[in-house]
């Protein structure tokens, strides 16, 4: 067997119907639209989602977008921090509901999960797997204390999915970079049965540094410079983090996918939601260089460089 690369052949998203605006939150918490907008860039978020249900919807939509049937998929790989249950893996629920005949597994790398999942999918393909349905789905609203203004204003629910297809030759994934530092796990955590806690200031500081370093390493490994990036798709945690990363990387905001204003921080779903939005707007063409980069609890971070279209 020669080299087997990957290409992304379909994309789908899903968010729950219920929208909570900054004014809705201000009505019951000591906060206001100006603070939330200025400090985070978030205007509204969707809540009340169930991880499996959103994943199923996004997954079905990605399969249809690729012009495929569920039977054409070999593996469901679900990145999530908020599984429906401890056991079984939520991907099993998704696999059965969509009607995928093959394997199913969950992956948790917090907000970096989708990029970790993309590289894991490429690895599966390289050892002979067929198409992988890669989904990022999270329902952070379920592990958030809605009386805690420091977290409630930040989070939202959603899912995004792509079909990862085998191709002959090196394919779309030009390079990748992973990192983790478990000594920082206290900065962002949620114990069993508890609520999300974050040391926001410290996470902010670390996030900008690690995401820039990771993205630069991935670009260097792909033999590319910042000027070659047609679209940056960053994790959507805070608009100020995205802007700081853009500035340090030397990538203009005009070449960046931003959806945080509409969705808030959706963890594993944020990168595919932003990618899906960019694709829907026709912002990605064959041959474009797309840089995905994320960071989150763990801490973990991950970047991947794609040349769109294989």
Binding of ligand UT7 at residue 146 (CB under 6 A)? no
CA 4 – CA 157 distance, rounded (Å): 34
Query: Is residue 150 part of the contact set for ligand UT7 (CB under 6 A)?
Result: yes
Residues between 204 and 223 with contacts to ligand UT7, criterion CB under 6 A: 204, 207
Size (the chain), residues: 310
Smaller CB separation from ligand UT7, 171 or 294: 294
* From 41, 59, 156, 296, residue interacting with ligand UT7 (rule: CB under 6 A): 296
Q: How far apart are the first and last CA of the chain?
A: 18
Q: Which of 108, 177, 238, 265 is catalytic?
A: 265
Does the annotation count 108 as an active-site position?
A: no
31 part of the interface to ligand UT7, by CB under 6 A = yes
235 catalytic residue (yes or no): yes
Among all chains, which residue has been given the structure tokens 């040391």? 199
Q: Which is nearer to ligand UT7, 28 or 227 (CB)?
A: 28
Single residue of 238, 266, 293, 303 touching ligand UT7 by CB under 6 A? 238
Based on the residue annotation, tell me whether 265 is a catalytic residue of this protein.
yes
Q: C-beta of 36: minimal distance to ligand UT7 in Å?
A: 6
Under the criterion CB under 6 A, does residue 233 sit at the interface with ligand UT7? no
Nearest 5°: the CA angle 281, 15, 214 is 65
Q: What is the dihedral of CA 196, 200, 203, 204, to 10 degrees?
A: 140
Minimum CB separation from ligand UT7 for residue 41, in Å?
9
Percentages helix, strand, coil for the chain (3-state, rounded to 5) are 40, 30, 30
Tokens describing residue 217: 């390493």
Which residues, 263 to 282, sit near ligand UT7 by CB under 6 A? 265
C-alpha distances (whole Å) from 38 to each of 1, 34, 47, 128 are 53, 6, 21, 48
Note whether 21 binds ligand UT7 by CB under 6 A. no
Q: Would you give the distance in Å from CA 177 to the centre of its chain?
A: 15
Query: Is position 40 an interface residue for ligand UT7 (rule: CB under 6 A)?
Result: yes
Decide if residue 187 touches ligand UT7 (CB under 6 A): no
CA distance 44 to 67: 32
Complex with ligand UT7: residue 192 or 201, whichever CB lies closer:
201
DSSP state of 127: T
| Residue 218: HSE in the Cβ half-sphere, 13 Å Cα cutoff | 32
Give residue for tokens 């509204």: 44
x/- letters, 109..128, toward ligand UT7 (CB under 6 A): --x-----------------
Catalytic residues: 111, 235, 265
Contacts to ligand UT7 by CB under 6 A: 31, 35, 39-40, 111, 149-150, 153, 188, 198, 200-201, 203-204, 207, 237-238, 241, 265, 296
């Amino acid at each position: 067997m020669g080299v087997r690369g990957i290409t992304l052949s379909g994309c789908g998203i899903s968010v729950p119907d219920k929208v909570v605006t900054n004014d809705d939150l201000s009505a019951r918490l000591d906060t206001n639209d100006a603070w939330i907008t200025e400090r985070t860039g978030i205007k509204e978020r969707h809540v009340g989602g169930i991880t499996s249900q959103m994943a199923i919807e996004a997954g079905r939509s990605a399969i249809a977008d690729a012009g495929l049937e569920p039977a054409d998929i070999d593996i469901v790989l679900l990145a999530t921090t908020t599984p429906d249950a401890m056991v079984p893996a939520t991907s099993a629920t998704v696999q059965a509901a969509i009607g995928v005949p093959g394997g199913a597994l969950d992956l948790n790398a917090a907000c970096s999960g989708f990029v970790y999942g993309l590289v894991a999918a490429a690895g599966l393909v390289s050892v002979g797997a067929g198409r992988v349905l890669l989904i990022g789905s999270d329902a952070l609203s379920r592990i958030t204390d809605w009386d805690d203004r420091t977290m409630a204003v930040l989070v939202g629910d959603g899912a995004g999915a792509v079909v990862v297809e085998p191709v002959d030759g090196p394919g779309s994934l030009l390079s990748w970079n992973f990192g983790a530092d478990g000594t920082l796990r206290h900065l962002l955590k949620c114990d069993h049965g508890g609520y999300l806690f974050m040391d926001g200031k410290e996470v902010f500081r670390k996030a900008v540094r690690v995401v820039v370093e990771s993205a630069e390493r991935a670009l260097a490994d792909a033999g590319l410079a910042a000027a070659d990036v047609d679209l940056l798709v960053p994790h959507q945690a805070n608009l100020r983090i995205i802007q700081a990363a853009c500035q340090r990387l030397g990538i203009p905001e005009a070449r960046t996918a931003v959806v945080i204003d509409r969705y808030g921080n959706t963890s594993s779903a944020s990168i595919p939601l932003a990618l899906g939005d960019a694709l829907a707007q026709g912002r990605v063409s064959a041959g474009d260089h797309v840089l995905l980069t994320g960071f989150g609890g763990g801490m973990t971070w991950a970047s991947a460089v794609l040349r769109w279209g294989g």
